[in-house]
Structure 1
Amino acid sequence: MIVDVKVPTPGESITEVELASWTVKSGDLVHRNQELAEIESDKATLSLVAPESGKIELLVEAGEVIKVNSIACKIDTSVEVPEEDTVAAVAEDEPVPETSQAKPAAATTKQAVEPDALSKVKVTPLAREKMAAENIHLEDVLAGLKKLSAGDVDAVLRMSDNGYQTGATPASPIRDVERSKMSQLRKQLSKRLVQVKNETAMLTTFNEVDMQPLMQLRKKYQPAFVEKYGYKIGLISFFLKASALALKKHPMVNSQIDGDEIVSPSYVDIAVAVQSPKGLMVPVIRNVDVIPLAAIEAELKRLADKARSGKISLDEMTGGTFTLTNGGVFGSMMSTPLINPPQSAIIGMHNIVDRPVAVDGQVVIRPMMYVALSYDHRIIDGKDSVGFLVDVKKMIENPALMLTNGKSIEEVLLDL
Structure 2
Amino acid sequence: MRLPQEVIRAKRDGETLDGAAIAEFIAGLTEGCVTEGQAAAFAMAVFFRGLSLEERVALTRAMTESGTVLRWDLPGPTLDKHSTGGIGDAVSLVLAPMVAACGGYVPMISGRGLGHTGGTLDKLESIAGYNATPGLDVFRQVVAKTGCAIIGQTSELAPADKRLYAIRDVTGTVESLDLITASILSKKLAAGLDGLVMDVKAGSGAFMGTHDAARALAESIVGVANGAGMRTVGLITDMDAPLASAAGNAVEVSYAIDYLIGRKQEPRFHAVTLALAAEMLVIGGLAADTAEASRRLEQAVASGQAAERFEGMVAALGGPTDLLGSGSESLPAAPITKFVKPDVPGIVQSVATRAIGLAVIGLGGGRTRPQDGVDHAVGFTALARPGDTISADACLGIVHARDEDSAERAAASLKAAYQVGADAPGITEAILERVE
- TM-score of the pair, normalised by structure 2: 0.27
Higher helix share: 2
- TM-score of the pair, normalised by structure 1: 0.28
Higher strand share: 1
Q: Whose RCO is larger (CA < 8 A, sep 6+)? A: 2
